[in-house]
Structures are given as C-alpha cells and as structure tokens.
Amino acid sequence: MLFQSMSEIVRTLLVGTLAYAGLILLVRISGKRSLSKMSAFDLVVTVALGSILATILLNEDVALAEGMTAVGLLLFLQYAITYLAVRSKTVASLVRAEPTMVFYEGEFLYDTMKRERLIVDEIEAAIRKSGTPLLKKVQAVILETDGSLSVLAQTHEQPTVLNDIRNFPTPSESKRRDEATNIKID
C-alpha cells in the first residue's frame, strides 16, 4: 500500500515538525553535553531519542505530548546522571569508561590493545595524524573515553596528564622495563 490516507500524511507532517522543534528545544535546554562527542552512555541516549522521535512520527497511538514527555524525561535523566557523575566517582565509573594507555615510550601495550580491540595500524594512524613522524618522538597514545586516540609527544618531564590513565607505569617501572627489554625504536 502506498499510503493509508491523506490525513495520515498531514498528521505525520504536522507532528513531525512539532516533534522536531520540541526535540531541538529540549536538547538546547539540556545543554552542550547532549551534543558532545559520544561515549557509550551518550550513544544510548542519542539512539533512544531517535527511537522516541520515530515512534512519535509513525505511531498514531502515541500523542505528541506523550512523546515529548518521553524526550524530556530522557534528557532529564541524562542531565541527572551526568550531574551525579561529576560529583561522585562511583557514579562516574558506572557510566564512563576510563582512558587507557595503549602505547608508551616506544612500546605497543599488546595486552591492553587486545582487550580494547585495537590494532597497531590504528595507533600508527593516530600518530601520523598528530604529525609525529617517529615512534621514538611519542611519549604515549591514550584510548580516550569517547573512543578517540590521543597522542602525546615525547617531553623531558613526566607528563602530568597521564596520572589518571589506566596502565600508566610509574617512572621506576618504566626504567626497569627499559633496562629489561633494551628495545629501541627508530
């Protein structure tokens, strides 16, 4: 069947326009967080918003007010969870992944890469994108909570931005590892 009736098409156009406007308004009210780079938590919220919008548009049994209430509830819950996550490490650990080191001072951390499902080519691509032509010029590569890879250039000082990274070796561990492996990367 091509279409049920003209009134259904008009309803879809009207409700779709109003639902879209309402969604934009509610997302703007909820703040920049709703539009940030996506973590797994943000992806779930985004997919759920899309599902609610589709239901509002295509299901006659769901009134616009009910659908927009569902959108508002979802955005409120996202706001509440992120509010609590900022104030509680326990809540934060439940909804956010930790950044993880996958390369450190010339070494690929293969066990971590395997656990995070990364291959050497992906890390090398991130290093190339950073503009660093030599692996020995890279202090560390971090798999961030949003799935992106951050590349830190080699410095003469211990980088302080690595303190909260999983798998970050202390300077003494790093020195022992270097002495034990004696591997140089050019």
The answer to whether residues 78 and 131 belong to one domain is: no
pLDDT at 166: 66
Tell me whether residue 1 is in a domain.
no
User: pLDDT in tens for each of the 186 residues of the chain?
Assistant: 566 678 877 888 888 888 888 877 777 776 655 555 566 677 778 888 889 888 988 888 888 888 888 888 888 888 888 889 889 988 887 777 788 899 998 899 999 999 989 999 999 999 999 998 888 889 999 998 778 899 998 877 666 666 667 666 654 454 444 444 444 444
The answer to whether residues 56 and 114 belong to one domain is: no
The answer to whether residues 81 and 122 belong to one domain is: no
CA distance 123 to 146: 15
The contacts of residue 38 (CB under 8 Å, 6+ apart) are 46, 146
CA distance 109 to 24: 43
Tell me whether residue 77 is in a domain.
yes
The answer to whether residues 88 and 143 belong to one domain is: no
pLDDT at 108: 93
CATH of the domain at 170: 3.30.240.20
